Each structure stands twice: as C-alpha cells, then as structure tokens.
Chain A
Amino acid sequence: MTLDRLRRLLADQAILFILAGLFLVCSLFVPSFFTARNLVNILKQGAIIGILAAGLTVAVIAGNVDLSVGSVVAFSGILALLFTHRNFADAVVSGTSTQGPLLLAAAVALPLVLGAVVGLANGAVVTLSGANSVIITLGSLAAVRGGALLFSDGRVTYGAHNALFDAIGQAQLATIPVYVFFFLAFVLVLEGVLRFTTFGRSVYHVGTNLKASQIAGIPVIRVRVLTFIITGFAAAIAGVILAARLNSASGQTGTGWEFDAVTAIVVGGTSLFGGKGSVIKTLLGTLLVTLIINAMVLLNIPSPYQYVAKALIIVGAVLIDISTRKEAI
C-alpha cells in the first residue's frame, strides 16, 4: 500500500482509528475499564441515544437538523407508559395493573405514530416554507415539550410493570440488553437504506445540492419530509425503550439529548452541511463520546470537566475532519 493510499485510508476512517486507539489506551491505563461489566455499560450508555443520533443522521445528510428529538423522547415515553395501564388514572401513581395485548400494542404503536407525525410536521414546515430547520425545530422542541408537560399535567407517568412491555427495555441476552442489539441492527438497516436504495441516494443528492436535485427530477420535498419522519420515528423508538427500561417518564425526560445526538453525529464525521456522512460513522461517534465520558468517570474526574471534554472532543473531531479533507465543513 502506498503512503498516499494509507493516508487516504487514515483520513476516511479517522474516527475508527481514533476509537480503536482510545479504546486501547483506556484498557491499559484506566482502572476497571476493560471489564465485561464496564464494556457492557458503555454499550448500554450509548445505545438509546445512539438510536436517536442514527435517525437524526439521515436528516442531517439531507441538509437539515431536527432539534425537537429530545422532546419527542419525553412525549413518546409518557404515551407508551400510559397505555400499559387498563385504567389510565393508575399511570400517575405506581400501580400494578396488568394489561392485555390490545392496549399493549397501542403502547408501542402510538408513540411511534406520534414521532412520525412530529417528523412530518417539522418536515412539512421546513420544506414548504424554506425556513431554516434549526429554528423551526427549536420551536417544535418547545411546543412538543410543553405539550408533553400539558398532557401529563407535569407529573411522572409510571408503567404497569407489564412483562411483555418491560422486555423492550429490560430483556437481556448474555447480560447484554436486547436493545443494544436492536441499536446495532437499526444502524445497519438505516445504513443499508442510505447506501442501497434510490431513496438513500436521493438523500445524499438533496443534501449536496438541492437545486440540482430538483432539476434532476428527484422528488425533493418528499425525500426531505421522509428524512424528518425517520428522525421522529427514531426518537420515538428511543423514548419507548427508555420508558420500558426505567418504568417512568416525565416531561423532563430527554432534556438536552438533541445536543448530545448532534455531538455524536459531528464527532462521527458527518457534516452538518449535508451531502456526506453515514449512520455507521454516527455509531462510532456515539461510542467514542460515551467511551470518553465513561473513562473520565472511572478516573474520578469531576463532572464539570466532562463539559469541557465534550467541547474539546467536538472541536477536535471537526478539526481532524477538516485537516484530512482540506475543505470547509
């Protein structure tokens, strides 16, 4: 392999090498890092927000961003837990009512519908008005969270401890939660869609050059709206899993998750300008950020320094990206 090709490989897969390198360093020098329990923890700590970030990546590649995802996590969690009860009044006090399959199906389906609807609304407003998605989705962040608080009257919503529903968040395979496997599968499915379907290719085109895509006959509006729906859908899935794991959700759930998801996406190497990137890169970005925070905790570094670290990681990742590509992001 020539030096040039090696350099290119390094540049393209920078995040992978950094992740591997850091993993090695932490395994050697951070106490308790390289234990089965901790490694599973890292997967657990990254998986749910990883699902969120994966879905958001699709919208980002198309050139938009959706900051309302954290609020969707809250609302969908509340909705899911509500429908695990036969008597809705039990949802605000920890009850033990059990549920039959019909309403249980609603507990999973309705939140997903909610996520899709919010995505549809975001997508429609952004594409039809031409407004910047940052601001529109900031508005929907406030509106959806306010809606979640109104809907739940500001209280915590508890689940009915239904075994079937709980399994979504609590089932394990060899001490690894099933939702971690779901996360990996979800990433692969999305990546497959992006790489091998016409829709996926359209997403990249639209993100690269909207006008040209329009001229080329791509149904630009439909594609962009669909990316928002995927994002909302992913956020709802994350909300349902979180609710199943914790058996509680409130209007406060998921606060700040939108910025964590964007961090994972950027660190993974996907450009916020759209047109390039991949869901697998976001997976790696998620793992990298989770790993670094985990290492800091194990090293007993006080929590405020985690903020500083996150900021430096983001800037560092972008700098590496720039220097290996030599073009403005």
Chain B
Amino acid sequence: MRVLTRMVLVLVAVLCAASLAFAGGGGEKPAVKAGKTVALMWGGTDAPFVGPHVKSFTATMEKAGHKVVIFDSKWDPAKQSTDLDDAVAQKMDLICLVPIDPVAIIPALKKAKAAGVPVMTINTEADKAANEYLVGFSGVGCYEQGLVAAELLIEVMGNKGNLAVVEGVSGFNACVLYAKALDDVFKQKKSQIKILAVQPSNWAPAEATKVTEDYLTRFKNLDAIFAHDDYIAGGVIVALKEAGIAPGKIKIVGIGGVGDALKAIKEGWMYGTVLQSPITEGEFEAQRAIEFLKDKKLDPFYKIMDNPKIDPKNVNNYKSEF
C-alpha cells in the first residue's frame, strides 16, 4: 500500500501545485513605478566578452532608473527557451536576448509575443523569421564585421596567398556569418586567397594555440591566419612565438579590439582587428532599451553599431579598455 500511497501523493502534489497556481494566479501587481525591469539574457556568462558587456549595460540602465536581471543559459538552446519562458512569466517590461541558436528560440519568442512581453534581440541576430515576434534588434552586424575583416586580410595579403581560419564554435551564427562575408568579399574582389583549413577553438585561447600548432605542422606556406576573436588571436600568437616565427611573417587578423590585440598590432604580431567594444556595445544596446521603454517602440527596427577597422595606421587612436 505504501507504494500506492506514494504514487497517489505524486499525482496529488502535481495537482496541488496546479491549483496553487490558480489561487495565486492573479497575483498582485506591484504599484506602477517609474523604473522598469529588464531581463538581459546572454547565451552564457562565462565567455570573456560577456562580463564587461553586462557591467556596461547594467550601469547604463541603472543610471536611467531601471533594474536589470541577468540570465545565463549555459549555451544550451533548450535552457534558453525555458529561461525565456521564465522571464515572460515574471512579466518583464522588456527582454533583451542574445539568441544562442537563431532558429530554436523562435517558438519561445512566439509565446512571449502572445503573452505581451516585448523582446529585443541584441548582439547576435536570430533568424529573419523571428522578426515578427520582436520589437527590434540592436547589436553587432556580424556579417558587416566579417566584411571589414576580409578587407583587412586582402590588404595585408596582397589579395593572394594561403589563409587558415581559427573559428569560434562551428555552426555558431556569428561564425557562419564571418565565413560568408569572407567568401563574398573574396569572390567580389576576385581574390586568389586560398583558405586551407577552418578549425574550431570553442572560443578558448588554449585550444586556439593547439590548433595553430597543428596548422604550422601541416602547412609549410601559411601566409595568414584569421581568428574569430582577439582572445583566440592571442592563443594563435602564443603558438607562433613558441615556434620561433618572427612577428609579421604570418599575418594575423582578429575581431574585437581587445587591449592585448592593440598591443599586438603595435608590436607587429597582428595586422588588424575590428573594434567591438563590449563596453560601448552594452551602452548602445541599453540606450535602445531605454528608448523602447519610453516610446514603446523602436525606430528603426534594426540598428547596428559601427565596425571601425583598426590597423597599424590608426591603432594609436584606440585605448585598451577591455
């Protein structure tokens, strides 16, 4: 009988929870206050880029009198889906979301729209099909960044030569867009640059070092390496240094504008990078969020930041900030 009791108890517990839900269902809404609550939903908060971004975003929002709640979906799209449900259930005034997977998040976005909770994607875009459920996108044009990186590569390689790519995570939307940008620009400029290999590094410098070591073993005539971000580029440089290769012999282009990268450009290890300051980005996206909270809409829907090119000629105009 104990088993039966236990089983019944499980069912009763579930039903109790459900009825509790209806008892507390209406819930008392707190008195309307000037400051709103905004959810900042990053795909994962352990990537080095995220910390400074969160700080900057939060500081900007708090100065305007709003509150920020941070979510971390551990780079799992299923978790981000349920996290979004959680944020919607808490009736956030605005949700700022960095989609881990451009497509998987769409059903949850649909639910959010149906529940009347506005969502703006930031940093990385979701699939175009998501746009009808969003109030806007503010962030980085990954494709546009890729275009600048491609220009830098063509510049330094003289539009020909052997290139190896150390990418972030295969299939990650930003990385897919970088690859496409390179492809498009090389075709357009009738480039003779040959991409010898593309290997992922999980955004980890240690892994990037290993990948580069192996590239150096495999390819005798490597002219350049494109790293999907400056942290990875740092790992690439370590491998080159350890192999005794002189700075500038193999050209490196990264993305980000990280302080170490600026130093590397000055020392000749890197040729260039594309500025993407998490601090500036945090402010930029927070401003758009504030704009939405005030006007209840975003105009224009799609707004991306500038992607300034940093190369040896202008590197001294930039400071190490992150």
Q: Which residues of A contact B (CB under 8 A)?
A: 31-32, 35, 37-38, 41, 44-45, 92-96, 149, 152-156, 158, 170, 172, 175, 177, 242, 245-248, 250-253, 255, 294, 297-298, 300, 303
Q: Which residues of B contact A (CB under 8 A)?
A: 45-48, 50-52, 54-55, 170, 197, 199-200, 202-206, 209-210, 213-214, 216-218, 231, 234-235, 238, 241-244, 258-260, 262-263, 320-322
- Asked if residues A154 and B51 are in contact (CB atoms below 8 Å), the reply is yes
A313 CA to B196 CA, complexed, in Å: 29
A252 CA to B203 CA, complexed, in Å: 9
- Asked if residues B205 and A37 are in contact (CB atoms below 8 Å), the reply is no
- Asked if residues A172 and B260 are in contact (CB atoms below 8 Å), the reply is no
List the B side residues contacting A255 at CB < 8 Å: 202, 204
List the B side residues contacting A177 at CB < 8 Å: 242
Q: Looking at the assembled complex, report how far the CB atom of B208 sits from the nearest CB atom of chain A, in whole angstroms.
A: 9
A32 CA to B219 CA, complexed, in Å: 9
Picked from B54, B242, B244, the residue with its CB within 8 Å of the CB of A170 is B242
A77 CA to B234 CA, complexed, in Å: 16
Whether A246 contacts B209 in the complex (CB less than 8 A), given A92-B322, A93-B322, A177-B242, comes out as yes
- Asked if residues B45 and A156 are in contact (CB atoms below 8 Å), the reply is no
- Asked if residues A158 and B260 are in contact (CB atoms below 8 Å), the reply is yes
A31 CA to B220 CA, complexed, in Å: 12
- Asked if residues A294 and B46 are in contact (CB atoms below 8 Å), the reply is no
List the A side residues contacting B46 at CB < 8 Å: 149, 154, 250-252
- Asked if residues A93 and B320 are in contact (CB atoms below 8 Å), the reply is yes
List the B side residues contacting A294 at CB < 8 Å: 214
A276 CA to B61 CA, complexed, in Å: 59
What residue of chain A has the Cβ atom nearest to residue B50's Cβ? Answer: A154
Centre residue among A31, A41, A247, A251 by max chain B CB count within 10 A: A41
Give 3 closest A-B pairs by Cβ, nearest first.
A154-B51, A94-B259, A155-B51
Q: Looking at the assembled complex, report how far the CB atom of A40 sits from the nearest CB atom of chain B, in whole angstroms.
A: 9
List the A side residues contacting B205 at CB < 8 Å: 246, 248
List the B side residues contacting A252 at CB < 8 Å: 46-48, 203-204
List the A side residues contacting B48 at CB < 8 Å: 154-156, 250, 252
List the A side residues contacting B322 at CB < 8 Å: 92-93, 155
Whether A248 contacts B260 in the complex (CB less than 8 A), given A154-B54, A156-B231, A253-B204, comes out as yes
A297 CA to B215 CA, complexed, in Å: 9
List the A side residues contacting B217 at CB < 8 Å: 32, 35, 37-38, 41, 298
- Asked if residues B218 and A242 are in contact (CB atoms below 8 Å), the reply is no
A93 CA to B231 CA, complexed, in Å: 12
List the B side residues contacting A156 at CB < 8 Å: 48, 51, 231
Q: Looking at the assembled complex, report how far the CB atom of B69 sits from the nearest CB atom of chain A, in whole angstroms.
A: 16
Centre residue among B52, B235, B242, B322 by max chain A CB count within 10 A: B242
A33 CA to B321 CA, complexed, in Å: 42
- Asked if residues B45 and A154 are in contact (CB atoms below 8 Å), the reply is yes
List the B side residues contacting A149 at CB < 8 Å: 45-46
What residue of chain B has the Cβ atom nearest to residue A45's Cβ? Answer: B210
